[in-house]
Structure 1
Amino acid sequence: MSLRLLSKSFVAQRITPTLSSRFYATKKYTASHEWISIDNGVGTVGITEYAQNALGDVVYVEVPEVGSQVELDETVGVVESVKSTSDIYSPLSGEIVDANKDVVEKSKLINQSPEKDGWLFKVKFSSQEEVDNLLDEAAYKKLTESEN
């Protein structure tokens, strides 16, 4: 099961945020349950608390290689749990500048701290427009409430 399947019925209801992240650090979300924290042109990416709760105990994590180029919505990794295997999608186009090897070695970090220590990778993004199209916290909260 991919993280996208968790929210496939909500893709058509995508909400476009009005806040810009050009001048300050901010956190955004995808409809496929990835979060991204933007700071100075680099986004740190992971899966949301909601997604890790849906997955259950994470047993395996695959992150993208540093230096690789990724496109918006491209599969860049995998999170496997006792329940299922889920693809991780890049929320932005750009270059992978860092990958969290700790989550590869200690996959439980995703369950313990999905939106802090359990981050997956960092991407130097190439399109502010893609950032502007991500969900803000209120829109993501509305999406997850609708799924419950």
Structure 2
Amino acid sequence: TEGRTQAEWMAKHYGQVKEKRSYLPEWEVAMNMGVIDQQGTRDEDSIILADFRHDPVASPLTTPSGKIEIYSHTLAELAKAWTLPEGDRIPAVPEFCIVTESHLNKSLTAKYPLQMSGFHTKGHTHSTYASVLMLHEAVPDEVWINPIDASVR
């Protein structure tokens, strides 16, 4: 503990974060706020593609044109060259594509009205520690379902 209380450790670590995020309120103020709405900084470090924005000729992107590309010639060529499964496509312009397994696929949602999406619980990361019995007992893998959805089944 290095002689610090839990509150002192919290203040210390908050101070370290605040050094990099000067827009954060002082510790005493933050403690009374509950939730802190972190507004992004306007520093050069926080501007995405800052070098490109300042001088696109000297700092080109890694795209074929060196610029931001909305239409991708590379994807257009792949779409022509590849043989894809029925229903699959490679659009050259960004668009939302409903995949076969999506909850938006109406032909499947009639038969399978629920969709399970998995995530790793705090008991393991990827497969690491997944076989540790003590962790399974402490943090069992569970399915969470809304009671309204569960009640009709």
TM-score category, normalised to shorter length: under 0.3
Structure with more contact order per residue of length (Cα contacts < 8 Å, sep ≥ 6):
1
Larger Rg: 2
How high is the TM-score relative to the length of structure 2? 0.17
Bigger fraction of residues in strand: 1
TM-score, length of structure 1 as denominator length: 0.18
